Amino acid sequence: MNSPRLLERVAKVRAFNRLYTALIGVLDEGLVGTEYSLSEARVLYELEQQGVTEVTELRRRLGLDAGYASRLLGRLETRGLLARERSESDGRRQLIRLTEAGRAAQHSLEQRTVDQIAKLLERLGDEDQQRLVSAMGAITNLVGERSVRPAVVLRPPRPGDFGWVVERHGAIYAREYGWDSGFEALVARIVADYADRHDPRAEAAWIAEIDGERAGSVFCVRGSDERTAKLRLLLVEPGARGYGLGRRLVEECVAFARAHGYTAMELWTNDVLTAARHIYAKTGFQLVESEPHHSFGHDLVGETWRLKL
């Protein structure tokens, strides 16, 4: 039996589907004011991208059953938009390609689609456009296939990033561990201190991006003495996990500390943060001290880890 919360979320997803299909005209008689259905447009697009393609591969990419694909391709072939032929090397394989008329139809569809989406975006300001694209990226990351590794970039913080670090720490740790606002306040103090007084000759911070969207952070600051660096505020967004991003952020932090003359690196964490602790251990950190404490609304065990550089 589905829970009331799940059913409520299902209803919201269905409402979004209805809104978006109406917005882009999927249910209209022709896509973007043309005579082509969505399925026909997808076939033309795939053939334009792939060139000569096996029919079985086209069916696989579009998730079409054999009967429906045969009727769909037959309609487009009758209009003179594509041509089918047998492979010279294997007569059992049927190949398909766009004709000149098919390419012209695809180019017209592409331009109409670009114009339609541009018109939609022009209704919004720059900030709202970025929010929309970011939300669509989140949907893609959560429910799309991960067969292609995303583009990962580590960069210095830009205006707005510090606020994002504070907000995401507060939201993620509240949701995943039930920590109260005391943790967000702690993160805010650490970030504010760094933004106000950090020494760029000996301290640094990185924001991780996946396909252009913020996905993680880490800070390297002075530690308990001048020869010791401290790793702080390691974060990986839930939707960005599984790509080795946490390990990459930690390694970047360690490499910076080593290159800037530190002889050791330390960090403080809690025993419930098992994924982060696994990364620290893999990178060579060793647990040197642990102590129970009550913070963020919970009884926790704080841990100090140390790495010789």
Q: Where are the alpha helices (DSSP H) in the chain?
A: 4-23, 38-50, 55-62, 66-78, 100-122, 126-143, 161-177, 181-197, 245-259, 274-283
pLDDT at 27 (0 to 100): 47
CA separation for the pair 107, 51 (Å, rounded) = 14
Give the model's pLDDT for residue 249.
Answer: 96
Q: Is residue 278 a contact partner of residue 244, using CB atoms and an 8 Å limit?
A: no
Return the exposure string of 105-128: e unless at least 16 CB atoms fall within 10 Å of the residue's CB, then b. Answer: bbeebeeebeebeeeeeeeeeeee
Average pLDDT across each block of 10 residues of the chain; the chain has 309 residues. List them in order. Answer: 76 78 59 70 82 80 81 87 79 82 86 82 83 76 62 90 96 95 97 94 94 91 94 92 90 95 96 94 96 96 96
Q: Please enumerate in sequence order all residues whose Cβ is within 8 A of that of 238, keeping only pairs 6 or more positions apart, or say none.
A: 172, 176
Domains of the chain from N-terminus onward: 4-123 (1.10.10.10), 152-308 (3.40.630.30)
Nearest to 304 by CA among 274, 279, 272, 270: 270
Write the CB contacts of 166 (distance below 8 Å, at least 6 apart in sequence).
184, 187, 188, 191
How does DSSP classify residue 180? -
